[in-house]
Amino acid sequence: MFINSKANDGSRVLCHLITKQLWRFLEEKVFTIPSTETMFNQYKDVNPLFDKSDAAEIRKENLRKYFQSIRWELPVFIVGEAPGPWGVRFSGVPFTSARALHLELHPRSST
């Protein structure tokens, strides 16, 4: 969980609650959707041609860490849809390629 040293206890609790509720929603409504011939759920399934056997779990863990690093008191939260084949499809993090994660190019906060 992101801890802002200037934040009061109330905003820290709010950040934790938002993260927890969002994660619960994803677990119930997104991570459970099976892939089809026209849609690939990168958080549930793996493609043996491109992925490691535990790739879906790695992507979920990357997303969880990303959410924990967000300062939820920011006024805007951007949600992306239709992830591209080389970004979130592999990294699990919106607007972020696996290369950016590996090279630590993605901006993130210290915890």
Q: Where are the domains of the chain?
A: 9-102
**CB proximity list for 97: less than 8 A, separation 6 or greater:** 86, 87, 90, 91
The tens digit of pLDDT for each residue in 15-66 reads 777 788 889 999 999 999 999 888 889 899 998 988 999 999 999 998 888 8
In the chain, the amino acid numbered 51 is: D
Are 56 and 105 contacting, i.e. CB atoms less than 8 angstroms apart? no
Q: Which pLDDT score is estimated for 46?
A: 93
Kindly tell me if the per-residue pLDDT of 111 is higher than 50: no
Q: At what angle do helices 9-25 and 55-69 cross, to 10 degrees?
A: 150
Kindly tell me if the per-residue pLDDT of 103 is higher than 80: no
pTM: 0.66
The tens digit of pLDDT for each residue in 65-98 reads 888 877 766 666 666 666 666 667 777 776 676 6
Q: Which pLDDT score is estimated for 57?
A: 95
Q: Compute the distance between CA of residue 103 and CA of residue 86 in angstroms, rounded to an integer.
A: 15
Q: Which pLDDT score is estimated for 87?
A: 65
